[in-house]
Amino acid sequence: MKGRRVVVTGLGLISPLGVGVEKSWSGLLQGRSGIRGITHFDASLFATRIAGEVDGFKPEDYIEPKEVKKMDRFIHFGVAASTMAVADAGLKIDENNAARVGVYVGAGMGGLPAIEHYHKVMLEKGPRRITPFFIPMLIINLAAGQISIKFGAKGPNSAPATACATGSHAIGDAFKVIQRGDADAMIAGGTESVITPMGIGGFNAMKALSTRNDQPERASRPFDRDRDGFVMGEGAGIMIIEELEHALARGAKIYAEIAGYGLTGDAYHITSPAPGGEGAARCMSMALKDAGMDPTEVDYINAHGTSTKYGDELESAAIKSVFKEHAYKVAVSSTKSMTGHLLGAAGGVEAVICALSIRDGMIPPTINLDNPDPECDLDYVANKARKTDIRAALSNSFGFGGTNACLLFKKFSN
């Protein structure tokens, strides 16, 4: 069912490359890595001692100081990036439109830092020392809840928790909410901050993380033969999306139009993609069908591209199965080579990147791509950003449990 047209009018971004949209975007175009040694905790005993931490972030710049202590870091990021996006969109939320503005912001793992901290407090000092804000600090939907409270957004409110596909599912689901007429504007995206002992230790136990500790900036290397796992990042990516006429009526600037959304399940394995990337392929095809677009109209794919052996190879295979001969003409890049993998925030961050790519006609590179995996033989925009007109950009997100989400953005024309 085709419904109302939906456009992107505001962006908010916090990443290991910086706080704020333009700071992160300029870093991406420069091919700069945000991966460093871990400072959030003493990682000296861990197999992985590197991550993409956010530097220079002050939650008090966006949240009342007395409210800051009631929230975990992933909520801080979500509220801050939403504040940026609402301001960028010039969106005023008041009693006249509050019920028509909603929030779909999710996280993959939520308040893991709060869980670890207050477990230690309980063991050392007893249960009476647990803060009454402990539960609201850690549950995933409190990012969306705190955002709605801050802005008085009373429309549809939800919080997807679909691992690494979370941010894309949040934006895609919000797109459908507007398309079917249940809201006129949505604050949508993902947020995450789990660079903690249990977070790093857990992924190390799965042997999922890179252990290239002596070369942090070169550790995330999607599609490269010498990759050895992903690098964890943190941050948030938020979009303001609106029904077209609503945006035009208030004179909003428009970054791009959301054209299509796909979501599928592999029904195969808890961590490994399905053989041949068939679930990912169906997801991309679904987004194209939803948009009524031909694969040849897509000029850029922001790949899931985590820097894991099977993930990168099977995503490449999926792209080839969907795009056929055009697969070798479409530009593909993984910005996780610079930001690391932001888990539940990744889809939100990469959706923002797609909108910026369309706005500026610039494709950020895949850095550290020195020796391409023979199974990964597409145009991955190696090591240097590329200037080119982008008619449409596809953002891929694939999560543990075999959950897939694809967002298709196109250049806006009325």
Which residue numbers are catalytic? 164
Identify the helix (H) or strand (E) that includes residue 331. strand 331-333
DSSP state of 98: G
The torsion angles phi and psi of 113, rounded to 5 degrees, stand at -60, -40
Long-range contacts of 374-379 (CB under 8 A, 24+ apart): 374/225, 375/313, 375/316, 375/317, 376/223, 376/312, 376/313, 376/316, 377/316, 378/316, 378/319, 378/320, 378/327, 378/328, 378/330, 378/332, 379/328, 379/329, 379/330, 379/331, 379/332
Beta bridge partner(s), residue 265: 403
Give the relative orientation of helices 112-125 and 197-205 as an angle to the nearest 10 degrees: 110
Report the distance separating Cα 193 and Cα 235, nearest Å.
6
Contact in structure between 219 and 231 (CB atoms under 8 Å): yes
Sign of the CA dihedral running 366, 315, 238, 410: positive
Report the distance separating Cα 318 and Cα 283, nearest Å.
10
Contact in structure between 332 and 378 (CB atoms under 8 Å): yes
Identify the helix (H) or strand (E) that includes residue 262. strand 256-265
**Residue ranges in 164-308 assigned as alpha helix (H):** 166-179, 197-205, 244-249, 278-291
Which residues lie below 8 Å from residue 164, measured CB to CB, with a gap of 6+? 108, 304, 306, 341, 343, 344, 346, 347, 397, 398, 399, 400
The string of DSSP letters for 337-399 reads HHH-B-GGGHHHHHHHHHHHHHHHTEE--BTT-SSB-TT--SB--BSS-EE---SEEEEEEEE
Question: Nearest 10 degrees: CA dihedral of 299, 302, 303, 306?
Answer: 160
Report the distance separating Cα 378 and Cα 187, nearest Å.
34
Dig out the tokens for 345 from the structure: 């925030």
